[in-house]
Amino acid sequence: MKSVEFGTYIKIHREGKGIPQRIVAHALNVDTSTLSKMELGERQILITMVKPLAEILDHDFKDLQIRYISEKIKADFNEQPFLKEALQMVIDNI
């Protein structure tokens, strides 16, 4: 999986479908200004927005959620020596 920032990924796919920010922003109940910032990484994209994003962009929800979560985890815990063990522990407890 290519590691492009989530906001950038959304932007690329939105543009690929020729959908203006106006439409996506409305689906997320935010301003186009906010969406612009989210795409540029200046505002957080909430996990609750992943589903509506998948729908409006007609994109696989599973893929999008995996991208979202894995990026957050890398951002928060990269470099932590026992990250792998911690993740394995969570997996084993699901």
Partner DNA sequence: TGTTGTTTAGACAATTCTGTCAAATGTAAT
Partner DNA sequence: ATTACATTTGACAGAATTGTCTAAACAACA
Q: CA–CA separation, 82 vs 76, rounded Å? A: 13
- In the bound complex, what is the minimum distance in angstroms from residue 52's beta carbon to DNA? 13
Query: Which among 24, 29, 23 is positioned nearest to 10, based on CA atoms?
Result: 24
Please give the full DSSP string across 38-65, using - where no structure is assigned: HHTTSSPPPGGGHHHHHHHTT--HHHHH
- In the bound complex, what is the minimum distance in angstroms from residue 22's beta carbon to its own copies? 28
Q: Tell me if residue 17 falls in helix, strand or coil.
A: coil
> Which of 5-13, 15-23, 28-36, 86-94 is the region at the interface with its own copies (rule: CB under 8 A)?
86-94
User: Does 2 interact with its own copies (rule: CB under 8 A)?
Assistant: no
Residue 74 contact partner, candidates DNA, its own copies, none, CB within 5 to 8 A by sort of partner: its own copies
User: Does 52 interact with its own copies (rule: CB under 8 A)?
Assistant: no
